[in-house]
Every structure is written in C-alpha cells, then in structure tokens.
Structure 1
C-alpha cells in the first residue's frame, strides 16, 4: 500500500528553491443554486469546475481530443454516474414535501448534502493511500462505485415504506433519519468518487488534452444531476406522464408515472454494479508518477499548510464573511421551492423550471467576468447584495400570489411559468454577480505557491456557509409558523394546543406562514450585515497581496522514487 501525497513542481526549474509547490487538492467552485429547486442542491450544482491539480507542460502542445476520445467518453460517463445519486438527493426534498414533511424534517434531511462541502477533510487520504498493483485511483473508484450501486439496490426495496411512514407518522423523525443517513452515505461516497475521478483524469488524458478534464466534469456531472433530478421527477410524475405522454398517444391514464421511485433506484444501482465491474477488468490505470513532473507531499504537511493559511488575520476575517454572507438570502434560497409545492405547484414543474434557465447560468458569468477582473472585484458583490435582497421580497410576493393563478383542475396556465422564469432570471443576475465576484476575489488573494490549497479552503468555507444557514433556516420554519385552530380561532402552535384542537374536531393550520416571517427577518439581517461588513469588504480587497501570503521555506532532502528510489520530502516552516 502506498502512502504519499502529490505536489506539483514549478514550471520554472530555476525558481524551485525559492517557492513551495502546490499540494494536490482538488478545488471546486461554489455557486448559488436555482431557488426553484431544493436548497440541498446548493452543493450539487456547484461542484463543477476544473481541478486545481492540472500540471501544464512547459512547452504546451496543441490539444487533439481525438487522441483521447475513448478516455474523454469514459470520464464523462464516470462524472455522469457521480451526478446520479446527487441528483436523486436533490429530488428527495420535493418528494418528501408531497408526503407531508414539515420544516424540521426538511432541515434534518439537509444534512445529507454536507459531505460534498467538507470533502477537503478526507481528500488527502484518497490521494495518498492506495494499492499500487490495482491502481492509484481505481483503489478508491471501484469499491466506492460498487458501494453506491449496492446501497441503491438495497434501498430500492425499502424507500416506498420509508416515504409512507412520513405520511402515516407525521410527528416521527425516524423515517427522515433513515433517509438522511442513507443519502448522507451516498453523498459521502459520491464526493470520494469525485476526488478519485479528478485525479485519474490527469493521468488518463494526454498532457496536451489535460484541459478536457474540467469539460468532462462539467458535462458529465450536469447530465447526471439532470437525470437524477429533472428526468427522474418527470418520469415519476403521474401528471406529466398522463398529460404529455399517455394522452397524446391515446393511452389510458394511470395512477403512477412512467417509472416508480423503487424501479429508478434499482435500475441505476444495477447500472453502477455492471459498469464498475467492466471498468475494473477492462480499463487499466497507468501510473505516470515516475516519469512526470510531480513530487510527493507528506499527508500531515498538507493539513499544516491549511492551518497556516487559516491563521492569517485576513483569511480569518474573510472566513467570517463567507460563513455569514448568505444569511440574508437563506429563506429565499432554501425555502422557496418547497413553499411553491405547498401552494400547488407540482414537483416536476418546479424541476422543469430549471431547464430554460441553464443557458443563462452558463452565459451570464462570462459577461460579468469583465467587471470583476480589476483591483477591486468585491465591488460587484457589494452592489449586487442589496439588489438581491430587494428581489428576494419580489420572489416572496410572487409565491404569495401563486394560488390565484391555479386553474380549477389544479394546473397552472403557461403565463404563470413564463412569469416565474422572468422573475427568477432577473434574480439570477444578482446571484451570479455575487458568485463571479467572490471567485475573482479568491483568485486574486490566493497565494500562487499554494493556490490549489488556498482556493479549496476558501471554497470549503463558502460551501459550509451555504449549508449551515440553510439547515438552520429550515429548522426555524416550524417554530416561526403561527397556527390557529379552525374551531374558535385559537392559537395552537404548541403540541398540547394542537392535540386539543384535533380532539374538538378542528384543524390546526398556519395563520402566518413561517416562510414570509423568515424572508422578512433575513432581509432585515441582510441590511444590517451589509452595514456591518461594508468597511471590512472594502478593506479586504484593498489589502496588499503580502497580507495573504503564507511564509514558507523549502528544504531539500533525500529523494525516494518508485523507479529511482527517490522522492522529495518537503518541510514547511513559518
């Protein structure tokens, strides 16, 4: 078993003694998700970006994708497989909402999405520990994908019963705990698979085609998430199947969609097992470490680098901003999609709303980028922040007036969805302004000697800032709902009062929905946050680059390699 950690060499050999190379930790961008999806997608869609470990040859060759067309197709397929469980996890909040899940249960399930934002904690282990004979990346990829397939197959036999428990035992947390545990495990495995595939892409592709790794990531994972969420919710919906497939084909309407939830899980579980077995026997991994420009970095030293970065005063102040930045928008981002299902919009319709917005999400960052390339990239974030707060109120008003649009057959007219797309598209301008502004700021301040580690840490903080506020907002939902009994109009927020209302034959329903209370509170907090952090934001982007640098010293020592019995041992000291 090998235990080592990859470190990139500097392209300029003459500078090798002067600067520290960059530890290989994959970095992923983070971007806000469509609010017409569940808040859990926060991390899923945001994991698409190039790996930080790309090693560019000193004399670049022209890319020739045909040389690696088989490997490119394989990488896209591997990233597609990775996106399937992530897409399914993103669909579950909408599904359990239709089974009667409350805000607290949604909050509990949101923990299932935390692994992807915390994978920095175990990424060095995945890159360092492996069986050399089996392959550096296959040592992790094969068992992880087999486990994903096995879990999905077993889960397919129980998911219907678990979902029914949510409906029949509305106050029980047990079924939600089961779902959360299962999808937490799937997300953990998918995050581990992502680390392995990112690394394998660099050795699988030719040096001149290594830039295709990020393209394979983006295309494959986006397709997988789309299949696991949008396609799945569409095929599972009886309304979509009856109205748009069976009716045009003069087929009899059914009480189920084209596929059921158990069958979809079973199909993809079997697909994981078969495809992974074929890859294990037919695809051989070539170890290029002995003839590459790579060095190897001690595992513990990698964590020491992260600690040194976090000890910088400027980084700690940035961390506080990243961990609190989204509080002002969390009610809109985390609760809007779920609130729409409560007001009659079907879960498949909510999923399909994201399709026409994809071109905007791809094109918009390119237009914004030219405004964030200057010396003060956070100016765009500061300008967009109040606009996003304001338009959050507009979205809340749109949600409030959703029921009057509903037809007698519970459907919605086409112009309702057109308004939804327009409103959300305008909202996305502010969202992506802030995203691109943050990414430009990260790129500006990252110490080039350890840029990958720096970017990974900042993105991890940003991702964690997204998740903890979403979970907190969902938990607060049940406590902020004002309920009254239909008999006597008395408050019944407490469990004892709710039981008394039920005993009298009444229904304890919301008088003031917590969604609107949280939107108001978050908006107020957002205004106060901007006043509080405005000077800090302006100050951070005005700091000299020296304030962000980690002081390092490199000392050469004995070389131990696979073929030459030599590898570099690096010491980092402040």
Structure 2
C-alpha cells in the first residue's frame, strides 16, 4: 500500500506539468513546480520522525533512539570511500538525460500533440516495465549493466531530440506516430535497464542489519540527483529561445553525459568489483563471524 501511494504521487508530479503546459506555463514556472518532488527525495530525513511518533509501544526514549541510531549508521556509511563515490555517481549521472526526461512530453504538447495521445503512446511502455526486470533478474554485475546502458541511452536521447526537432514538418505524416512510439520505447527500455540495474546493486550491497534504510538512502540520493537536474534544466530553459530550448538543452546534457561516463567508467567498474563486505559498516567483523560460522 505504501508503494501504491508513492506511485500516485509520482504520477501526479509527471502529469501535472502537462496540464501546466496546456495553460502556456513558462519553463521557469515548470521549474518552480518541480520543487514538489523534493519532499519525496528527502524522505529518508523525515521518515524516521514519522515512525517515531507512531511507535508508542517502544516507549518515549526508545522511539527516539531508533532513528538516531539509523542516522549514526548513515553517517558511518558516508565515512567509507566507496559510499562517497557511489553518492557522487548517483547525484550526477542523470544530468545526461535531464532535459530528455523533463522536457520531451512538454515539448510535444507545445507542438500540438494532446495529453490523451501522449497517454496512449505510453501504454506500450508498461510491457517494458514488466519484462525488463525479469530479464535482469540473474545478473551478477548490476552496476556494470547500469554503466553499459549509459551511452546507448545518450544515443537514444539524441535520436529522440532530432526527431522532435523536425516534428512540425512531419506531424501529419503516416509514419510520425509509429516512429515516435518506437523511439520512446527504445528510450524507456534504456531508462529501465539502468533503473533496475541500480536497484539490483542497492539490494546486493545493502547490509542485512539495516537493509531497508540502506536501500532507501541510496534511492533517496538518486531521487535527489534527478530532482536537482530536472529543476536546473527547466530554469535554464526559461532563458533560452523558446523554439530551440529543447534542442539546446538536450544537446548540452548529452555532451555532459559523454564527459560524465568518460570520467566515471573506471570508478563504476571498481565499485562493482568490490566484495559485498566492503559496503558494510563493519566488514572485518562480518568476515570474521562468517569464517567462524563456516568452521562450526
């Protein structure tokens, strides 16, 4: 039920910009609206507080000690170099696709494509959301798959941007919607490849004792990176020529994306190859306990 409610919130934050665009909202206004996603991005901060007010049976002091211990655990995690490097990656990797993700549907609306048509075009994407996690269920190198999907996703974003650049000339052609749906499906496949791979990596490295908090922390960092990059590109778009804002921003983001993957590829490979115990709070203790249990 919790994740269903979260899905409703994400649906609203995705659909409301389309309504704003239909009322001729500027890019700056779209950027202002994108701030509504920040409470979701910072859920790891307020979630322990909400939990503490609901846990009466633990007592007054124990209720506060639990979130404090979680915060201490998080701070200890950030003392580890691998966590700091992964945090930097999660905060910055979406800059390569920020304009494609935040501005594509809004730009299509600006060219006269209705919200209902956009909704219908996204129906085939549901199949991708169902099948792709099954295909990646057994992968042993999830972070490498995350990185391998980066350049194809940049290429897919560029293909989509080029096609949309000529949309006014081909909107009435019979091939317009089939090709657009294909490009959207291709882009969504690569998006989901990276998303599922990253979640799989979170699950692999999360220490069992604090697995829920660990995964939520990493997901929160990734969500925050998405929110920051989306807000940034929408605000910048307000200062660009309206007819070319989408193309300029997508092109700039793709260029930054190629630079990003060039700088981080070796780091990603090294992080993926690290033993799972290296991501734990006390790897040496866990290894010792594991060795003792094997001897017994």
Equivalent position of 2:43 in the other structure: 119
CA shift for structure 1 position 534: 0.9
Query: RMSD in angstroms over aligned alpha carbons?
Result: 2.4
Superposed displacement of residue 299, structure 1: 2.8
Give the equivalent residue in structure 1 for 2:125.
357
Give CA-to-partner distance per residue, 1:91-112, whole Å, 9 cap, x none.
Answer: 2211111111111110000001
Give the counterpart of 1:90 among 14, 32, 38: 14
Q: State which of 126, 130, 136 in structure 2 corresponds to 1:368.
A: 136
Show the 5 A alignment for 1:128-167. 128-130=52-54
* Cα shift at 1:377: 2.3
Which residue does the alignment assign to 2:213? 453
* Deviations 1:416-437 (CA, angstroms, capped at 9, x unpaired): 3322221111222221221122
> CA separation in 1, counterparts of 2:117 and 2:37?
23
Tell whether the 8 Å contact from 1:447 to 1:549 is kept in structure 2 after alignment: yes
- Cα 1:523–1:451 change in 2 (3 A) is same
Shift of 1:82: 6.3
**1:516 corresponds to which residue?**
247
Partner SS, residue 129 of structure 1: helix
TM-score, normalised to structure 1, is 0.46
In the alignment, the residues of structure 2 paired with residue 311 and residue 346 of structure 1 have an alpha-carbon distance, to the nearest angstrom, of 49
Is the aligned partner of 1:534 residue 2:248?
no
Could you tell me whether the CA contact under 8 Å between 2:161 and 2:250 is conserved in 1? yes
Do residues 381 (structure 1) and 149 (structure 2) align? no
5+ residue gaps, structure 2, are 286-296
Moved more, 115-124 or 469-478: 115-124
1:302 aligns with 2:70: yes
More contact order relative to length (CA 8 Å, sep ≥ 6): 2
Q: Deviations over 1:393-440 (max 9, x none)?
A: 110012112222334xxxx85x43322221111222221221122122
Q: Does the C-alpha gap of structure 1 residues 91 and 433 become closer, same or farther in structure 2, counting only changes over 3 Å?
A: closer
Instruction: Write 1 or 2 for the structure with the bigger share of helix.
Output: 2
Relative to structure 1, the CA distance from residue 442 to residue 99 in structure 2 (aligned partners, 3 Å threshold; closer, same or farther) is same
Cα distance change, pair 299–361 in 1 and its aligned pair in 2 (3 A)? closer
Structure 1 residue ranges without an equivalent (≥5): 1-74, 137-288, 290-294, 482-509, 554-574
Higher-Rg structure is: 1
Does the aligned pair in 2 maintain the 1:357–1:421 contact within 8 Å?
no
TM-score relative to the length of structure 2: 0.86
Q: Deviations over 1:37-69 (max 9, x none)?
A: xxxxxxxxxxxxxxxxxxxxxxxxxxxxxxxxx
